[in-house]
Every structure is written in structure tokens, then in C-alpha cells.
């Protein structure tokens, strides 16, 4: 409310200032008469004394130089007194009243009458005064110019009365003011004076026309000033309205820019999440998925580095899985110190870290890497943390709340993908694993064997298999029961799994039969490995509560491409070698014959 009042007052001030400026420009003053007209009256008043002085001096010079009249000291004294009165009158106006124009009123009338009377007396007591009768008209001219013809007519009448009265007074005291031009023909003199004042009247009428025209111009100017003032007020209101419209448009534009910025950000976020969703649905390899997502984060966030760290299976330590750091030294600093207490504690609790003024003392993995800002968001699946995304920048104050929100949305998507990938791995493991012995099943073995033989054929290396089964296993089941038979199967599977190499695999082939795949292994090494396994199994004692028993196995060995040329012949030849081992008394190893 106060703001609108203030604006209204400022507008009013501007309007007043505008009108005053226009008035000054046109030379108008609405409080009194025109400055142009008053200027003429001031000039006439200020020079009346000079005119009277010229009259007196000229009269004295005429008397002295030309001898046309007798110089009389008493007349000159009276003339001096009149001049002194005129000068005193002017001084009073200048010193007492000042430079202000005297307003119409009693003071103005008295001053003008005094000026007229002094001039009438002076022109009547000088020789050849009739030549200077025009001087009587000067104060009246100023009245006509500044007040108009009608106002000046009474003053002209008073001047005429003064003239006649002074004439008779001076004529009465002719012995004092003896003037050569005085005549006893009063009627003729009065007639001439009347004619003269008629001429004065006509002259004033002409001047009055000038006053009327000037007054009309002044009124026209004043009307024009009023119109200009109104126009100025209208223009000011229009300008204010346009300014208000501009301010509103500016505010709307800022809102649109903000909305456009938010919309652009939302579209970018939507596109990013769409790309991640497509990756989740199409990329099943965990490392490939994490690398793809990491590249998206780098592009969207515009960061210096982006890293994804996950907890290992059954481990409480973070391990960097994906990173765009290619400098070996800096990457080593990150991987060696990723489990710094402050960061790890936040990840374990599922808390986001936003730090735009990184202190290396708080984050050991930033030492010597010129990291000024970092943002860490954990992967949370069902309230459990699986790792984190760590993005870093070399400039301070690089991240804001919008970055936090977007990265948290991305990590939610990745968390789902990680959980799905781990579930998929578990399902794959369940599908590929024998439920009893927890080793690979026959389906997985067949697929792996096919892949391994293709690689061996391309790269030119040997692949061997060991096919074995438990001797007299039916007797175990009949004697000790199927539960103990299951314990025997699980015990032998575990023993063989722990006795083979990392790249070797053991699978349950069916019933009590097992098979071992040995890549990069010839028939001699395969035979030696089979003998090693057979001896370990024969020396093994299996216990379950009060039951205690030992078992033996028979084994058949075959090698690709030395002894078999295809997957089918490899398995068949190993099976034939196993059959030979059974016929040979069991608990022995036999190698297949070349195809």
C-alpha cells in the first residue's frame, strides 16, 4: 500500500514539474500578469526621472544659450524639487517594495497619480513645455500596456484634470512662474489641450489593441500549456502503464525461462532414465551394464570422474568395479582408499554425501588428485546397501540439490538392475547346479564342453574329460539306505571339486556318474589327474553318525582331438573306457582307444 502511495506522489511531482517547465519555456506566469508586459512598465518607471532631468536641463539651456526666455532661479528650484520627488518615489519602489511588480490596488493608484501629477506640473512650468506634453502620457502608457485600454482611460482623464488645474494655478501665480508662452486666451488653450488629449486617447487605444492581442496570446498560451500538461499527464500515465506491462512481461519471461530450464532438465532426466531402463532390460552382464551407466553419468553430470563401487559377495569391503580414471597412480589411490571410514559409514547407512569443499583429510582417496567437490549416493535394495556411485569434480561448488536428486534417481534404477542381475545369477546358478551335490549339472556341462571344444579347435589346444562312477553304489543304497547314499555323492563331489584346477569343472552326469572337464590337458596329464583323484577317493572314509564306509570309483579318460574328433565321440569314448575299467576289476583308470 505504501509503495503505491509513494508512486502516486512521485507521478504528481513529475506532472507539476512538467507544467512548470512548460510555463518557463513559454515565459508565462499564471500567478500574475505577463512578464513581458510588466517589463515595459518597469522600463518606463525607471527612466521617468531621467526624462524629467532632460526636461529641466533642456529648459535651462534654452534660457541661457538662446535667450528666448529669462532664466529664473525660483522656477529652477521648483523643477528640482519635483525631480527630487520623482527620484524619491522611484527609490521607495526599488528599496522598499523591491523588484516585485506592484499589484493593482490603492498603492498602485497613488503611485501612478503621483507620477502623472509630477509630470503635469513639470511640463507646465518649463519654457516650451507644450513640446514635452507627450511625457505626461508615459505613466499612462505603462498602465495601458500592463492593464489594458479601459483601465488607462480614467488615468488619462485624471491627467487632463491635473493639466487644467495646474495650468490655472501656474497662470494664477504668473508673477512667480512667468512663462513667455502663456496666453490669456484660455478658451483656445483649453481647446488645444482637449485636442491633444483626444490624440492621446487614440494613441492609448492603439496600444490597448496590442495589450488585447498580447493578452489573447497569453490566454492561448495558457490553454496550450494546460493541454500540454494534460497530454504530459496522459503520456506519463501511459508510460507508467507500459512500464507496468513491461515489468509483468519481464516477470512472465523469467518464469517461462525458469519453466523452460526445468522442462529441459526434466527431458534430460527422462532421456537419461530411459537409456538406463533400456540398458537394464537389454544388458545382462553386470560389468557391461555398470560401464554403460557410468558413461551416461559422466555425460549428464559433466563431471571429472565417475566411479561405481560394490560390495563383494560375502564381503563388507567396497571394491571399485567401474571408473573412468585412466591414470594408474590416481586409480590406485582411489581403489586403495575407497573404504575410508567417513565414506564407508555413509554408504553402510544409506546416506548421501554432498561436499563442495572437499578436505583431503576427510577423504583419503582424494589426496593428490585435486578433487574439490564430490557427490556419493549409495545403492539401496530393500534397505540394504550394495555399494555406491561416486562422482568428483576439480572445481568447488560443482554440485547442487538437482544433481543429488538426479543421481539418486539413477542409483535407484541401478540398484534395481544390480538386484535383478544378482537374482539372475542365482537363477542361472540354480539352473546350472545339481541340487544334491551343488556341482554343475549335465546341461551346463554339455554347453561348456561345446564352447570349450570350439575354442580348442580354433586355438589348437587339447581338451580331456574324465568320466567316473562309484563302484557298487547300489549296494550302498541297499545296505545303508538312500540317505547315506546321498551323503556319499555329496562327499565325493566336494572332494573332486576341491582337487581340480580353477578352470576345470566337475559335473554330475547322471545317477552316480560324474564327469570332469580339463581344458588345455593332453591324455597323459589327464590320466595322471584321474589316478590322483582315484587314490584320494579310495583313501576317503565317509562317516554319518554310526555308519562308516569307504568307496572306490572307476574312471575313463578321453582327449580331443587326439582320441576323439567330436563332442559326441569324446563322451562315448570316455564312456567306453569307463566300461573297460569296470570290466578290469573296478577301482582303476582306463584311457580310450584312438577313434
Q: In sequence order, what DSSP letters do the residues of 192-210 get, joined into one string?
A: HHHHHHHHHHHHHHHHHHH
Largest CA distance in the chain: 195
Give dist(CA 412, CA 389) in Å, integer: 11
**Which residue in 115, 57, 123 sits closest to 86, CA to CA?**
115
pLDDT of residue 33: 44
Dihedral (Cα; 583, 586, 590, 593), 10-degree rounding: 10
Give the tens place of pLDDT for each residue, 487-501: 999 999 999 999 999
Angle between helices 186-282 and 137-147 (to 10 degrees): 30
Say how far apart CA 30 and CA 86 lie, in whole Å. Answer: 32
pTM summary value: 0.44
The answer to whether the beta carbons of residues 207 and 145 sit under 8 Å apart is yes
Distance between first and last Cα of the chain: 106
C-alpha span between 102 and 183 (Å, rounded): 40
CA-wise closest residue to 392 among 419, 360, 346, 421: 360
Nearest to 101 by CA among 51, 145, 56: 145
96, β-bridge pairs:
none
Residue 497 has a pLDDT of 93
Burial (CB count within 10 angstroms: exposed 0-12, middle 13-18, buried 19+), residue 30: exposed
The dihedrals phi and psi of 262, each to the nearest 5 degrees, come to -65, -40
Enumerate residues 6+ apart whose C-beta is below 8 A from 142: 40, 41, 44, 45
CA 106 to chain centre: 72
User: Which residues does residue 558 pair with via DSSP β-bridges, in sequence order?
Assistant: 465
8 A C-beta contact, residue 437 and residue 493: yes
> How far is residue 491's CA from residue 514's CA, in Å, rounded to a whole number?
13
**Contact predicate 440/507, CB 8 Å:** yes
Write the DSSP string, 312-370: PTT--SEEEEEE----HHHHHHHHHHTT-HHHHHHHHHT--EEESS--TTT-GGGTTTT
- Cβ count near 308 (within 10 Å): 24
Distance between CA atoms of residues 8 and 2, nearest Å = 10
Domains by residue range for the chain, with CATH: 2-235 (no CATH), 283-430 (3.30.450.40), 433-591 (3.30.70.270)
Contacts of 298 (CB under 8 A, 6+ apart): 306, 324
Cα–Cα distance measured from residue 225 to residue 213, given in angstroms and rounded to the nearest whole number: 18
Q: In whole angstroms, how far apart are CA 249 and each of 3, 142, 239, 242, 260? A: 20, 61, 15, 10, 16
How many other C-beta atoms lie within 10 A of the C-beta of residue 568? 9
180 within 8 A of 68, measured Cβ to Cβ: yes
What confidence tens digit (pLDDT) does each residue in 4-59 have? 445 545 544 444 444 434 344 333 443 444 444 455 555 666 666 677 777 767 76
Mean pLDDT by 10 residues, the chain (595 residues): 49 44 39 48 63 70 58 64 73 58 70 81 72 78 82 88 83 55 64 87 85 79 87 90 90 86 69 69 73 82 88 82 90 90 88 91 89 91 85 91 84 76 73 88 92 93 95 86 89 93 92 94 95 94 85 95 93 95 94 87
- Per this entry, what is the length of the chain? 595
- CA atoms of 229 and 237, how far apart (whole Å): 12
Peptide bond before residue 561 is cis, with ω within 30 degrees of 0: yes
| For the chain, the helix, strand and coil percentages under 3-state DSSP, each to the nearest 5 | 65, 15, 20
Which DSSP letter does residue 95 get? Answer: I
Q: Rounded to an integer, what distance in angstroms lies between the CA atom of residue 55 and that of residue 124?
A: 11
Q: Annotated active-site positions, please?
A: 512
Q: What is the pLDDT of residues 189-224, one digit of tens each?
A: 788 888 888 988 888 888 888 777 877 887 888 888
Tell me the angle at which helices 482-499 and 473-480 cross, rounded to the nearest 10 degrees.
130
* Residue keyed to cell 563431471: 303
Residues 6+ apart with CB under 8 A from 42: 101
Amino acid at each position: 500500500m505504501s509503495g503505491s502511495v509513494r508512486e502516486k506522489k512521485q507521478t504528481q511531482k513529475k506532472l507539476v514539474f512538467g507544467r512548470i517547465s512548460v510555463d518557463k519555456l513559454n515565459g508565462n506566469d499564471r500567478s500574475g500578469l505577463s512578464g513581458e508586459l510588466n517589463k515595459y512598465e518597469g522600463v518606463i518607471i525607471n527612466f521617468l526621472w531621467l526624462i524629467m532631468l532632460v526636461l529641466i536641463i533642456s529648459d535651462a539651456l534654452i534660457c541661457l544659450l538662446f535667450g528666448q526666455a529669462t532664466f529664473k532661479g525660483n522656477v529652477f528650484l521648483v523643477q528640482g524639487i519635483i525631480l527630487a520627488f520623482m527620484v524619491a518615489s522611484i527609490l521607495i519602489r526599488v528599496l522598499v517594495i523591491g523588484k516585485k511588480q506592484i499589484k493593482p490596488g490603492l498603492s498602485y493608484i497613488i503611485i501612478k497619480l503621483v507620477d502623472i501629477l509630477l509630470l503635469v506640473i513639470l511640463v507646465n512650468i518649463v519654457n516650451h513645455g507644450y513640446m514635452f506634453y507627450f511625457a505626461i502620457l508615459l505613466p499612462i502608457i505603462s498602465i495601458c500596456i500592463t492593464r489594458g485600454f479601459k483601465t488607462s482611460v480614467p488615468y488619462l482623464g485624471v491627467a487632463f484634470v491635473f493639466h487644467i488645474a495646474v495650468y490655472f494655478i501656474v497662470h494664477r501665480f504668473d508673477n512667480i512662474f512667468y512663462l513667455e508662452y502663456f496666453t490669456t486666451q484660455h478658451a483656445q488653450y483649453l481647446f488645444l489641450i482637449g485636442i491633444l488629449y483626444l490624440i492621446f486617447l487614440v494613441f492609448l487605444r492603439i496600444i490597448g489593441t496590442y495589450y488585447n492581442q498580447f493578452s489573447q496570446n497569453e490566454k492561448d498560451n495558457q490553454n496550450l500549456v494546460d493541454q500540454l500538461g494534460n497530454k504530459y499527464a496522459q503520456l506519463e500515465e501511459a508510460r507508467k502503464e507500459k512500464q507496468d506491462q513491461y515489468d509483468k512481461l519481464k516477470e512472465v519471461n523469467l518464469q517461462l525461462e525458469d519453466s523452460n530450464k526445468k522442462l529441459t532438465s526434466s527431458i534430460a532426466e527422462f532421456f537419461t532414465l530411459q537409456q538406463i531402463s533400456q540398458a537394464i532390460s537389454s544388458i545382462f552382464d553386470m560389468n557391461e551394464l555398470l560401464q554403460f551407466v557410468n558413461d551416461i553419468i559422466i555425460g549428464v553430470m559433466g563431471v571429472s570422474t565417475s566411479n561405481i563401487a560394490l560390495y563383494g559377495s560375502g564381503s563388507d569391503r567396497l571394491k571399485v568395479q567401474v571408473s573412468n580414471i585412466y591414470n594408474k597412480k590416481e586409480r590406485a589411490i582411489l581403489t586403495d582408499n575407497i573404504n575410508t571410514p567417513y565414506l564407508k559409514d555413509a554408504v553402510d547407512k544409506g546416506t548421501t554425501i554432498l561436499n563442495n569443499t572437499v578436505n583431503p583429510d576427510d577423504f583419503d582417496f582424494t589426496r593428490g588428485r585435486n578433487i574439490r567437490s564430490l557427490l556419493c549416493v549409495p545403492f539401496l535394495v530393500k534397505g540394504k546397501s550394495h555399494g555406491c556411485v561416486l562422482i568428483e569434480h576439480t572445481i568447488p561448488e560443482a554440485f547442487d540439490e538437482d544433481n543429488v536428486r538426479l543421481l539418486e534417481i539413477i542409483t535407484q534404477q541401478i540398484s534395481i538392475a544390480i538386484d535383478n542381475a544378482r537374482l539372475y545369477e542365482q537363477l542361472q546358478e540354480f539352473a546350472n547346479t545339481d541340487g544334491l551335490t551343488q556341482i554343475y549339472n549335465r546341461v551346463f556341462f554339455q554347453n561348456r564342453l561345446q564352447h570349450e571344444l570350439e575354442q580348442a579347435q580354433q586355438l589348437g589346444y587339447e581338451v580331456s574329460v574324465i568320466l567316473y562312477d562309484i563302484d557298487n553304489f547300489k549296494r550302498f543304497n541297499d545296505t545303508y539306505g538312500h540317505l547315506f547314499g546321498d551323503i556319499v555323492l555329496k562327499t565325493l563331489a566336494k572332494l573332486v571339486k576341491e582337487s581340480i584346477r580353477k578352470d576345470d569343472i566337475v559335473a554330475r552326469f547322471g545317477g552316480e556318474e560324474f564327469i570332469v572337464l580339463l581344458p588345455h590337458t593332453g591324455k597323459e596329464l589327464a590320466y595322471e589327474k584321474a589316478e590322483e583323484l582315484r587314490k584320494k577317493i579310495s583313501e576317503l572314509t565317509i562317516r554319518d553318525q554310526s555308519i562308516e564306509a569307504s568307496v572306490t570309483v572307476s574312471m575313463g579318460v578321453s582327449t580331443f582331438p587326439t582320441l576323439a574328433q567330436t563332442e559326441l565321440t569324446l563322451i562315448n569314448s570316455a564312456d567306453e573306457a569307463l566300461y573297460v575299467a569296470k570290466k578290469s576289476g573296478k577301482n582303476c583308470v582306463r584311457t580310450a582307444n584312438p577313434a
